[in-house]
Structure 1
Amino acid sequence: MIMAEQTQPEELSRGLSQRHVQMMAIGGTIGTGLFLGAGDTISLTGPSVLLVYLITGGFLFFMMRAIGEMLYVDPDSSSFVSVVSKYLSPESGYFVGWSYWITLILPAMAELTAIGHYVQYWLPNVATWKTELVIMAILIILNLTAVKFFGEAEFWFASIKIIAILSIIAVGAYMIITGFKTPGAHGGQVGFQNITNGFSFFPNGSMNFLQAFPMVFFSFVGIEFVGLMSAETINPRVVIPKVINSVLIRILVFYIGALAVIMAICNWRYLPAGESPFVMVFQLIGLHGAAAIMNFVVLTAALSALNTLIYSAGRDIFALAQENDGPVERFFTKLSKTAIPARAILFSAGLICVTPLIKLIPSLTSAFNFFASATAAITVVIYTLIMLAHRQYKKSDDYLEDGFKMPAYQITSPLTILFFVCIFLMLFLTPSDRIAAFAGIAWTVLFGTFSFYYVKRH
């Protein structure tokens, strides 16, 4: 018994190498939204969508630098939940922790649903609920073993997404260099003139341009996953800064580069809004299995996202358990023999596993879609609180003058907070997002009040 107590781990194991963290960071910023939703954003505002991606990506890079600066000072910190608790208040940390957990669980349910549909492309006679439960069983096992096995799986998931995007860029570059002409009624010369000729910042009106910002913003959600890995990363003071500094390059290459090439291949006015432009590019080069290839890629993207969401949900609850001494949180403080927050992972994964049941009840399905949209609005609130925590860190005794500092803090910090406020206000431009924005406000007020009184009592 004494031996068991002595060998019971009390801290998360540092099993993630720079290779793992780098790929997980990329996987967190490249999701199915890019592969399937790029057509929607391009049709909304044309080539100026590149500017939307650049602006949004730039401000999220500044937020990542703020997270990195705080984690650099305390690399043993479980997550950005811990720094919000430390530099704002325990109540704020509690609100951010459980709010963030909800924004992980609902998207995980959506990803699991998507995976079931993608697998049916090859196994049409197998019930989706069976596929979903098998996938969940595999991912749960991955997440309950040593963290390095999870990191290895995510490394290969992310690699497939990266190879797909780089293939598109390479094919597009070849078409441009060789003077390729696309066939069909809307075909023509491949080249960047398809972007520059008749260029207009607001081809469909300034309102559509503004509406593109929330869509693009939410395609980046997940970029903060790196902020949950510090306590499990080998040599975090070296790895985390390197990974965060590469965020801007990843945005330029994987988002802006890929979309620019797609619009160079085909005039953006003829890109179908509801279809993946990546499939169209593969078809243009005569690859008849384009649909199957992209189905495999988006399946991998969904598996990567679900895998990371399960990981993040477990670490988020563990961080909350360390920060709070309530009866619920206390249950999740115990780690497994492999230094994994197994209880938190199983609790989160168990809720995700009820996804097939939710789909059987129409009223719950519509409610799920509504709350999933509302969680997107809550993400803006969470990001804003992280930035406010960073401002308080700058005033604290922990501030490290020669640390991994946010660049041009006096300017970039207030501008980043203002940008998040603007994103929230832009939600009111479209009816569906407007409802989500109101739900986000209601959650913030009601759960924020509960968090204040709950933490005070415990």
Structure 2
Amino acid sequence: MKKSGAGAAESDINPDGTRRTLKNRHVQMIAIGGTIGTGLFLGSGSTISKTGPSILFIYALIGLVFFIMMRAIGEMLYASPQEHTFVAFITKYLGLAPGLFAGWSYWLAIILGGTAELTAISIYVKYWFPNWNAALIQLFFLIILVSINSLTARLFGSTEFWFAMIKIVAIIALIVIGLIMIFTGFKDPNGQTSSFRNLTYHFQFFPHGINSFISGIPMVFFAFLSMEFVSITIGETKSPRHVLKKAINETVYRILIFYIGALTIIMSIARWTSFSPNTSPFVLVFKLAGIPAAATIINFVVITSAASSINSLLFSSGRHLYQLSMETNSKLLKPVQKISKSGVPANAVRMSGALFLIAPIISSIPAVQSAFDFIGAAASDLYLFVYVLVIFALLKYKSSSDYMANGFKMPAYKITAPLDIIAFGLIFITLFFNSDDVVPAIGSIIWLIIFGGFCYLRYHGKEPAHEM
């Protein structure tokens, strides 16, 4: 493990040939971009219509759960900043069997998430060009983003920087415009006045019943997915420990500003009862503000947001496949162990990207009414398994020889770690309150039993082929 005071020549190139080319500004913006997904721009209309203002409590609680998990990852990564993926800690502290289960499950979740975003991006583009072929749209975006990820980590970081900037500008614009509307007493065409008092209009914690409230939880959880992605960039970042602490500690502020802040403004401008599950709240607010091109603007934002997600998922999937190839040393995966001259596991990125192409196939299955919802739900379930294993890995790390008493420690871990495990379990249960999530949830249980059982029988007690 490199010390933080290592020289430039030592710290810029990792032992496996990957390069630390990402800078602090890249990582900080990637952290913000990873916190903000298309769920905020599009899905928040559905959650508001289900729960009303009490949706703020759901965002706050699930945001806290994610922050605790991020601190768990951060503590282990601070001790070993050379790791390419946080899943490596599951292998390191829980064993090869749970490590491979988590690694392959997370990699599969990334692939499923990538197909969901590709499916979505073609829908957004067809908003402008309805006659364009969806499969060709998906292929076009995929080729460009795979090419970016195959060149250098720094090019990826620069691309993510600008993708994230677009999302941030859109949210800040909404907050600023919203505050002006509120403080000037703006009235909509129906004569309703914008005011913070709209948050308490017909307020009930469960306005449509407790089942509807609970069914909104998975949608909020999905909106937060990939927040942990910023940790995957640390292995290719300059001054990793300094950058890591800043990126993770500011997670709370990002949640407060970009989620809770934006939703508070949205529900203050218009009464929550006026929101439709099929309409973006951002579009509604901008239209009320007198911006006729509101739908076009938000469509552009969600296209860049989806492209940002695909870009990040390609980066992440490539590093995870590389990690898995090194742990198993499988002949089939030998090609993905190669690091390019620019310090990128390019073959692993390309192989992962090729699997994103299942999106057009899934989109064409008549039985699946909403490919995006189905794939997103399936991916969410697999993430939950990995998140729980990460917390268990943190608990084992605490009693290991790697433990850094003066490191970046998770606060009150004896209390927060078990609470996080329980929280992820409860989130999984909420999937069964939403009819669209039941089949994917059952499928994930079958995956856990069959693939988890295989990993235990095949790899229990064995060591990784290579120590990363």
TM-score bin, normalised by smaller chain: over 0.9
Once residues 340 and 371 of structure 1 are traced to their aligned partners in structure 2, the CA distance between those partners, rounded to angstroms, is: 28
Residues 339 and 432 (structure 1), Cα distance of their counterparts in 2 relative to 1, 3 Å cut: same
User: Are the equivalent residues in 1 in contact too, given 2:368–2:374 (CA < 8 A)?
Assistant: no
Residues 243 and 276 (structure 1), Cα distance of their counterparts in 2 relative to 1, 3 Å cut: same
Given the alignment, which residue of 247, 253, 278 partners 1:249? 253
String of CA shifts for 1:394-435, please: whole Å, max 9, x gaps.
111111111001111121111111111111122222333222
Query: 1:449 matched to which residue of 2?
Result: 453
Using the aligned pairs only, state the percent identity: 46
Once residues 164 and 297 of structure 1 are traced to their aligned partners in structure 2, the CA distance between those partners, rounded to angstroms, is: 7
Secondary structure in structure 1 of the residue aligned to 2:284: helix
Secondary structure in structure 2 of the residue aligned to 1:48: helix
Given the alignment, which residue of 307, 318, 324 partners 1:314? 318
Once residues 361 and 210 of structure 1 are traced to their aligned partners in structure 2, the CA distance between those partners, rounded to angstroms, is: 29
Query: 2:165 matched to which residue of 1?
Result: 159
Query: 2:110 matched to which residue of 1?
Result: 104
Instruction: Report the TM-score, using the length of structure 2 for normalisation.
Output: 0.92
Which residue type is aligned with residue 56 of structure 1? I
Query: 2:237 matched to which residue of 1?
Result: 233
Given the alignment, which residue of 275, 278, 292 partners 2:296? 292
Once residues 253 and 301 of structure 1 are traced to their aligned partners in structure 2, the CA distance between those partners, rounded to angstroms, is: 18
String of CA shifts for 1:111-150, please: whole Å, max 9, x gaps.
1122222222333443222222221111111101111011
String of CA shifts for 1:260-298, please: whole Å, max 9, x gaps.
000000000111111101001111011111111111111
Given the alignment, which residue of 416, 431, 436 partners 2:435? 431
- CA displacement at 1:200 relative to structure 2: 2.0
Residues 361 and 177 (structure 1), Cα distance of their counterparts in 2 relative to 1, 3 Å cut: closer
Query: 1:405 matched to which residue of 2?
Result: 409
Structure 2: tracts of 5 or more residues without a match: 1-12
What is the CA RMSD across the aligned residues, in angstroms?
Answer: 2.0
Secondary structure in structure 2 of the residue aligned to 1:262: helix
Count of paired positions: 450
Once residues 375 and 23 of structure 2 are traced to their aligned partners in structure 1, the CA distance between those partners, rounded to angstroms, is: 35
User: Are the equivalent residues in 1 in contact too, given 2:14–2:82 (CA < 8 A)?
Assistant: no
Residues 270 and 377 (structure 1), Cα distance of their counterparts in 2 relative to 1, 3 Å cut: same
Name the stretch that deviates more: 329-338 or 438-447.
329-338
Query: 2:57 matched to which residue of 1?
Result: 51
Secondary structure in structure 1 of the residue aligned to 2:168: helix
Query: 1:34 matched to which residue of 2?
Result: 40
Given the alignment, which residue of 368, 390, 393 partners 1:389? 393
Secondary structure in structure 2 of the residue aligned to 1:237: helix
Given the alignment, which residue of 181, 187, 193 partners 2:187? 181
- CA displacement at 1:251 relative to structure 2: 0.4
Residues 428 and 357 (structure 1), Cα distance of their counterparts in 2 relative to 1, 3 Å cut: closer
Query: 1:19 matched to which residue of 2?
Result: 25
Once residues 215 and 370 of structure 2 are traced to their aligned partners in structure 1, the CA distance between those partners, rounded to angstroms, is: 23
Which residue type is aligned with residue 202 of structure 1? F
Query: 2:355 matched to which residue of 1?
Result: 351
Once residues 339 and 455 of structure 1 are traced to their aligned partners in structure 2, the CA distance between those partners, rounded to angstroms, is: 30
Secondary structure in structure 2 of the residue aligned to 1:126: coil
String of CA shifts for 1:143-180, please: whole Å, max 9, x gaps.
01111011000100010001001110001111111111
Once residues 353 and 213 of structure 2 are traced to their aligned partners in structure 1, the CA distance between those partners, rounded to angstroms, is: 38
Query: 1:207 matched to which residue of 2?
Result: 211
User: Are the equivalent residues in 2 in contact too, given 1:9–1:336 (CA < 8 A)?
Assistant: no
User: Are the equivalent residues in 2 in contact too, given 1:313–1:348 (CA < 8 A)?
Assistant: yes
- CA displacement at 1:351 relative to structure 2: 1.3
String of CA shifts for 1:178-227, please: whole Å, max 9, x gaps.
1111223xx41111100024322222222222222222111101111022
Secondary structure in structure 1 of the residue aligned to 2:404: coil
Query: 1:3 matched to which residue of 2?
Result: none
Is 1:142 matched with 2:181? Answer: no
Given the alignment, which residue of 53, 63, 87 partners 2:69? 63
Once residues 184 and 430 of structure 2 are traced to their aligned partners in structure 1, the CA distance between those partners, rounded to angstroms, is: 42
Name the stretch that deviates more: 248-257 or 214-223.
214-223
Instruction: Report the TM-score, using the length of structure 1 for normalisation.
Output: 0.94
Secondary structure in structure 1 of the residue aligned to 2:128: coil
Q: Moved runs in structure 1, 4+ residues, more than 4 A?
A: 363-372
Name the stretch that deviates more: 429-438 or 302-311.
429-438
Once residues 317 and 94 of structure 2 are traced to their aligned partners in structure 1, the CA distance between those partners, rounded to angstroms, is: 22
User: Are the equivalent residues in 1 in contact too, given 2:35–2:226 (CA < 8 A)?
Assistant: yes
Query: 1:264 matched to which residue of 2?
Result: 268
Given the alignment, which residue of 326, 331, 355 partners 2:330? 326
Secondary structure in structure 1 of the residue aligned to 2:266: helix
Name the stretch that deviates more: 99-108 or 208-217.
208-217
Is 1:190 matched with 2:194? Answer: yes
- CA displacement at 1:369 relative to structure 2: 6.4
- CA displacement at 1:368 relative to structure 2: 8.8
User: Are the equivalent residues in 1 in contact too, given 2:116–2:375 (CA < 8 A)?
Assistant: no
Secondary structure in structure 2 of the residue aligned to 1:97: helix
- CA displacement at 1:327 relative to structure 2: 2.4
